[in-house]
Amino acid sequence: MKVAKFGGSSVANAEQIKKVAAIIKQDQERKVVVVSAPGKRDENDTKVTDLLIKLADACLNGESGEKELVHVVKRYQSIAEELNLSEKIVRIIEEDLKARMASSKEDSRIFLDLLKASGEDNNAKLIAAYFQSIDLEAEYIDPKEAGLYVSDEPGNAQVLEESYIRLSHLKDHKKIVVFPGFFGYSKEGVLVTFPRGGSDITGSILAAAVQADLYENFTDVDSVFAANPTVVHNPVKIKKMTYREMRELSYAGFSVFHDEALIPAFKNKIPVCVKNTNNPSSSGTMIISEREYFLNPVIGIAADEGFATIYVRKYLMNREVGFGRRLLQILEDEGISYEHIPSGIDDTSVILREEQLNEEKEKRIVERIKSELEVDDVYFEHGFAMIMIVGEGMHNTIGLSARATAALSKANVNIEMINQGSSEVSLGLAVHQEDASASVKALYEEFFGGVKEETVS
Amino acid sequence: MKVAKFGGSSVANAEQIKKVAAIIKQDQERKVVVVSAPGKRDENDTKVTDLLIKLADACLNGESGEKELVHVVKRYQSIAEELNLSEKIVRIIEEDLKARMASSKEDSRIFLDLLKASGEDNNAKLIAAYFQSIDLEAEYIDPKEAGLYVSDEPGNAQVLEESYIRLSHLKDHKKIVVFPGFFGYSKEGVLVTFPRGGSDITGSILAAAVQADLYENFTDVDSVFAANPTVVHNPVKIKKMTYREMRELSYAGFSVFHDEALIPAFKNKIPVCVKNTNNPSSSGTMIISEREYFLNPVIGIAADEGFATIYVRKYLMNREVGFGRRLLQILEDEGISYEHIPSGIDDTSVILREEQLNEEKEKRIVERIKSELEVDDVYFEHGFAMIMIVGEGMHNTIGLSARATAALSKANVNIEMINQGSSEVSLGLAVHQEDASASVKALYEEFFGGVKEETVS
């Protein structure tokens, strides 16, 4: 059996939902359907989730929220009408929303989660109703009843191990399961949402629980590309890639998946396929445990901005046992995680994500490093991008770093940092943020410039 | 004024000592002379320091040491005879050695230091006597009387700050100062030797104390070379280099100086000149605070063997605040310092010097990493070499890493690790030990292959 997850743009309006139904009809193995909340219908549209956040904010501000509620209900109403569904489903959704609005606002994070998650929950009810109306034997499944238990962290839920056994019963379900993405319930019965990429996580969990043969992730692109299509013109499509490759690429800016969403599928060795709702006959991109690699050791090039460095210099640093550990302790005390630590004899840099910093924290860190580590110099620098060149089999390819650095040199990009040596599937380079696009273009040209076919595996 | 230090081969026999005298006579600014113990006269000879270690061992084993004493005295005797000195100086040396042999053996390390240091001490007396015999106004100076105070660590003395003020009086000395290298005295009056490169340290301390215009370090090569002459045929001579460049190169295997020997000179901005006793008219290599750099950003290429790595892999490692710090804590608990920590998303490596390890330690470290950090995989790998490409102005040279990596790729060398990003004057690469010489040759060819002149600055 297959688990098929449909993203926001795939369920944004009646036309899209009809495509979803056709996809489900076309393959009887598609027994579990995970849906997102309705996304944008066009560039200037607002996602239902964003409408719901506005509704929650109004309620938390002591307003009635009536106006905001109307906006949300109207979206479902227009979809229901175009799908020729009865008024009944719209009334169910409206009553559900009103009940949520009336619930406790004591913990604003819990209230926000409750309102936000209704986007997926009610869309699942609506889609189940539509499937039934076209004689697809389907049923909305409540995550609470099905047993999707999660940790008690609003906006950052982690699935609890016991959920897998409870959810495994879904594989014996007679009808097609229509399951809302993005949330689960704590052991106390409180609704909690997943972090970024939440519906992908739900799909991944269900695929693992029912031991699916395939987890299909339907989105609005034909496949994962070897580079960002807004940077590189018409990049080649990736046909097959490994979980590790996907993880490295999404970590460094590829937005197809949040880099942790695939963990449940990965751990259970369930293949994942990225497909296009608008072009389901295209084979998409397969994400699997292992792949063969032939000519090209590189599968993709990603860039992510927003990195800062702390530079620390101290004469005879390399002789001081414990220096690095004490430096990292200071960062840890501020709750900061680091990415890389390139080091010389008398100096070391720490590369980290800027979002973790603010002026006050930086000042505190510099002061502590100065006074506790008695360094000769310490300062922050901002505005770096990390470029990741990713591919299985890169590790033992002689000349790969030479090709990469030569390409950047030709593009007149100064390399601030090179990180090679631990990961077997990636080479990381830091450059100034303003050089990020030029770097990706140059590296793409170097590693894919000669690729004639439309796809790489 | 200038401080001139002469190494073991420069004072190995009468012929060499005559060259030293000629060098001192030739420039009246050479007012402080630091001497080593007599070194090897030819390949199969034994250094006086090694004869003294044998003598000390014999005494510590309860033997009389008479036979070993004869060997040492004979070396001085043959020098004295060839220099036409009276028997008196040989008797002084013999009496001095007997007094040392008769001193307390309670702490064997102190006894060993006392015997070893006699090599320099007695050679200074002999050379002072020779200078006087040829009408050079010179005087042997006792480090104890002059005030060279050091920390109380046998074989690993560190100079005490107060020594600089005491030793500064030497600049007003009327006669040429002949000062033994390699040792000082603790505050309790116990003789303690410096670590490796000891006589260079003494010269560096004296140059700082008397605020010399120049610290000349006389050895048996015309200059520092851009690469190891036993690896690269006829490498170019370095005319001028900075302290930082010298430090990076000597750290990575250049044997001209121990990398900490120049600290006192460096801190006082005293220029250092490496010169050849056997060819004093050659300009040698100047080591200074800053230099201009023109065409070639690289000044030298060094290689050092004996590195190991610990590889650690754990899924989602990068999300775990404190992971790196806890890993370094385990190494610190074993008293181990590390060189570099290249890191991926889910894995990290620690590169360290093998000499710090043994089977038992490795086992303990692996066990602790496994149990305390709950990693998916951890193991040691051995037999790596670090290649350092060094040069001021490397940091902002676009394409430098590309040239380096391309050169290694052409030589069919697989790069295990690249470390660039913190030090502004070096690029570090790890390769398998058996590829070290091929790497140095390839990099030398890349960065110096086109250099027509005999020297680089």
Write down the domain spans for chain A.
2-141+167-181+191-220, 300-456
CA of B373 to nearest chain A CA: how many angstroms apart?
Answer: 15
Tell me which chain B residues have a C-beta less than 8 angstroms from the C-beta of A423. Answer: 344-347
A405–B402 C-beta distance less than 8 A: yes
Taking the C-alpha atoms of residue A429 and residue A431, their distance in angstroms, rounded to an integer, is 7
Strands of the sheet containing B176-180, edge to edge, are B138-140, B176-180, B30-35, B2-6, B214-219, B272-276, B285-288, B240-242
A219 a known binding residue?
A: yes
CA of A350 to nearest chain B CA: how many angstroms apart?
Answer: 9
Tell me which chain A residues have a C-beta less than 8 angstroms from the C-beta of B414. Answer: 396, 398
pLDDT tens, B9-67? 999 999 999 999 999 999 999 999 999 999 999 989 999 999 999 999 999 999 999 99
- Would you give the distance in Å from CA B69 to the centre of its chain? 29
A-B C-beta contacts closer than 8 Å: 171
Tell me which chain B residues have a C-beta less than 8 angstroms from the C-beta of A412. Answer: 398
Query: Of the candidates B315, B337, B342, which has its C-beta nearest A318's C-beta?
Result: B337
Name the token pair of B281: 């008219």
- Is residue A271 over pLDDT 80? yes
DSSP annotation of B124 = H
A340–B318 C-beta distance less than 8 A: no
- Is residue A130 over pLDDT 90? yes
- Is residue A199 over pLDDT 90? yes
Pick the CATH number of A300-456 from 1.20.1250.20, 3.40.50.300, 2.130.10.10, 3.30.2130.10: 3.30.2130.10
Query: If you average pLDDT over residues B359-364, what whole number do you get?
Result: 95
Is the dihedral angle over the CA atoms A153, A159, A162, A163 positive or is it negative? positive
A344–B321 C-beta distance less than 8 A: no
Best interface-test mutation with A: which of B422, B429, B443, B446 has the largest number of A CBs within 10 A? Answer: B422
Name the token pair of B358: 């043994």
| Nearest C-alpha neighbor of A214 from the set A223, A202, A206, A222 | A206
Tell me which chain A residues have a C-beta less than 8 angstroms from the C-beta of B248. Answer: 344-345
Alpha-carbon torsion angle B423, B426, B432, B436, nearest 10: -160
What is the model's pLDDT at position A282?
92
> What is the DSSP annotation of B380-420?
EEEEEEEEEEE-TT-TT-TTHHHHHHHHHHHTTPPP-EEEE
Tell me which chain B residues have a C-beta less than 8 angstroms from the C-beta of A345. Answer: 247-248, 251, 423, 426
What is the model's pLDDT at position B173?
94
Q: Kindly provide the ipTM of the predicted complex, given to two decimals.
A: 0.73
Contact B170, B194 (CB under 8 A): no
B247–A316 C-beta distance less than 8 A: no
- Is residue B275 over pLDDT 80? yes
- Is residue A423 over pLDDT 70? no
Name the token pair of A300: 């993709």
B421–A418 C-beta distance less than 8 A: yes
Query: Of the candidates B318, B402, B421, which has its C-beta nearest A337's C-beta?
Result: B318
Best interface-test mutation with A: which of B254, B262, B263, B345 has the largest number of A CBs within 10 A? Answer: B345
3-state helix, strand, coil in chain A (%, to 5): 40, 25, 35
Q: What is the percent of chain A with per-residue pLDDT over 90, rounded to a whole number? A: 75
Taking the C-alpha atoms of residue B427 and residue B402, their distance in angstroms, rounded to an integer, is 11
- Is residue A146 over pLDDT 90? yes
> What is the DSSP annotation of A304-354?
EEEEEEEEEE-TTGGG-TTHHHHHHHHHHHTT--EEEB-B-SSEEEEEEEG
Structural Rg of chain A based on CA atoms: 24
| Arithmetic mean of pLDDT over chain A | 92
Q: Is domain B2-220 in CATH 3.40.1160.10, yes or no?
A: yes
Query: How does residue B192 score in pLDDT terms, banded at 50, 70 and 90?
Result: very high
- Is residue B294 over pLDDT 70? no
Name the token pair of B69: 């004493």
pLDDT tens, B126-154? 999 999 999 999 999 999 999 999 999 99
What is the model's pLDDT at position A35?
97
Question: Which CATH fold would you assign to the domain A2-141+167-181+191-220?
Answer: Carbamate kinase (3.40.1160)
What is the model's pLDDT at position A294?
64
Closest alpha carbon within chain A to B243: A315
DSSP annotation of A107 = S
pLDDT tens, A368-410? 999 999 999 999 999 999 999 999 878 767 788 889 999 999 9
| Nearest C-alpha neighbor of A100 from the set A147, A78, A68, A138 | A68
- Would you give the distance in Å from CA B242 to the centre of its chain? 16
β A455-456/A417-420 pair status: unpaired
What is the model's pLDDT at position B80?
97
Name the token pair of B411: 């030589």
Name the token pair of B396: 């902002």
> What is the DSSP annotation of B14-73?
HHHHHHHHHHHHH-TTEEEEEE-----SSTT---HHHHHHHHHHHHHTT---HHHHHHHH
Closest alpha carbon within chain A to B415: A398
B5 a known binding residue?
A: yes
Tell me which chain B residues have a C-beta less than 8 angstroms from the C-beta of A316. Answer: 260, 263
Query: Of the candidates A348, A398, A421, which has its C-beta nearest B349's C-beta?
Result: A421
Tell me which chain A residues have a C-beta less than 8 angstroms from the C-beta of B409. Answer: 398-399, 401-402
Query: How does residue A76 score in pLDDT terms, banded at 50, 70 and 90?
Result: very high
Contact A238, A226 (CB under 8 A): yes
Closest alpha carbon within chain A to B341: A341
A401–B342 C-beta distance less than 8 A: no
CA of A262 to nearest chain B CA: how many angstroms apart?
Answer: 12
A285 a known binding residue?
A: no
Query: Of the candidates B260, B325, B345, which has its C-beta nearest A325's C-beta?
Result: B325
Please tell me the least confidently modeled range out of A156-165, A443-452, B163-172, B188-197: A443-452
Do A2-141+167-181+191-220 and A300-456 have matching folds? no
Query: If you average pLDDT over residues A45-58, what whole number do you get?
Result: 96
Query: If you average pLDDT over residues B384-398, what whole number do you get?
Result: 85
CA of A243 to nearest chain B CA: how many angstroms apart?
Answer: 12
Best interface-test mutation with A: which of B245, B343, B412 has the largest number of A CBs within 10 A? Answer: B343
Best interface-test mutation with A: which of B328, B352, B375, B400 has the largest number of A CBs within 10 A? Answer: B328
A399–B402 C-beta distance less than 8 A: no
What is the model's pLDDT at position A320?
81
CA of B354 to nearest chain A CA: how many angstroms apart?
Answer: 15
- Is residue B163 over pLDDT 60? yes
Tell me which chain A residues have a C-beta less than 8 angstroms from the C-beta of B408. Answer: 402
B8 a known binding residue?
A: yes
CA of A314 to nearest chain B CA: how many angstroms apart?
Answer: 11
Tell me which chain B residues have a C-beta less than 8 angstroms from the C-beta of A332. Answer: 321-322, 325
Query: If you average pLDDT over residues A96-109, what whole number do you get?
Result: 96
What is the model's pLDDT at position A321?
82
What is the model's pLDDT at position B456?
60
CA of B24 to nearest chain A CA: how many angstroms apart?
Answer: 34
